[in-house]
Amino acid sequence: MIPPGVPLRIVGDVHGDAKGLAAAAATDRFIVQLGDLVDDGPDTPGALRLMFDLIDAGRGMFLLGNHDFKLARALRGDGVQYGPGLAATLATLDPATASRALIEIMRAPAWIAAPQTLFVHGGFHPAMLTNAPPGFPPGRPDRLLARALYGQTTGRVTGAGKPERLLSWVDRIPAKTIVYCGHDRRSTDGRPLTLAGAMGGSAVFLDTGAGKGGHLSWIDVPALN
């Protein structure tokens, strides 16, 4: 899905920040957006339409994020709990955008593995290096897809009411392998955060709060080998 020989721009969680995504897309590089295009920010429909334009032009793609996953389930008619972000998104989507969103989200990959590189929304598992991502499930995600969407969770919630997440998966990244991910806003200085793992691999967290009071971040990298 990523064209060979083309330098890349890796873009973090957008969350409805269409202006930020437009700035990121102003490049000759191929856009790899790490999921969570939707919810929370000022213009989810605009962000979706911009991504559709990138897909149609062969200039970009996005991974499946947990917010995208829930939106597609809602559009499909599944019984989901509507938080404020999802409710606002559904209220602003016109029929044509909603229809295209369902199609594109349901075929978005949950991860992409390349030599010494992996792109995923939530969190890494070694099986992602050898297993192709599954199709959009008819029900709940299996364990590997859940790791891709939600990261490594404990089943408990924090004092803020959010799922408690661990980062011990960073220590399972093989040597010289880089995992580019979103989902967790780990940065304290507004820039993408890189964490080194015990095996010599590393994870780059690109969520810097777009659509949630922060801003959109991206990293330019060379073409994949």
d(CA 172, CA 137): 26
| Residues in contact with 160: Cβ distance below 8 Å, sequence separation at least 6, in sequence order | none
Would residue 2 count as lying in a domain? Answer: no
Owning domain of residue 18: 8-221
- The answer to whether residue 204 scores a pLDDT higher than 90 is yes
State how beta strands 202-205 and 193-196 pair: antiparallel
Q: What are the two backbone dihedrals, phi and then psi, of residue 221, each rounded to the nearest 5 degrees?
A: -130, 160
Confidence at 206, pLDDT banded by 50, 70, 90: very high
CATH of the domain at 76: 3.60.21.10
pLDDT the model gives residue 1: 80
| Residues in contact with 217: Cβ distance below 8 Å, sequence separation at least 6, in sequence order | 11, 12, 187, 190, 191, 192, 206, 207, 208, 210
pLDDT the model gives residue 124: 97
Q: What are the two backbone dihedrals, phi and then psi, of residue 195, each rounded to the nearest 5 degrees?
A: -115, 135
Would residue 34 count as lying in a domain? Answer: yes
State how beta strands 163-166 and 202-205 pair: unpaired
State pLDDT tens for residues 5-25. 999 999 999 999 999 999 999
* Cβ contact 122:148 at 8 Å: yes
Would residue 165 count as lying in a domain? Answer: yes
pTM (two decimals): 0.95
Would residue 3 count as lying in a domain? Answer: no
Would residue 54 count as lying in a domain? Answer: yes
In the chain the first and final C-alpha atoms are separated, in Å, by 14
State pLDDT tens for residues 178-201. 999 999 899 999 999 999 999 999
* Cβ contact 45:53 at 8 Å: no
pLDDT the model gives residue 165: 85
- Structurally, the chain folds into a number of domains equal to 1
Q: Which two tokens stand for residue 202?
A: 């590393």
Q: How far is CA 182 from CA 4, 44, 91, 161, in A?
A: 23, 18, 26, 20
pLDDT the model gives residue 179: 98
Q: What are the two backbone dihedrals, phi and then psi, of residue 146, each rounded to the nearest 5 degrees?
A: -60, -40
* Cβ contact 17:51 at 8 Å: no
Would residue 143 count as lying in a domain? Answer: yes
Would residue 1 count as lying in a domain? Answer: no
Would residue 148 count as lying in a domain? Answer: yes
> Percent of the chain at pLDDT above 70?
99
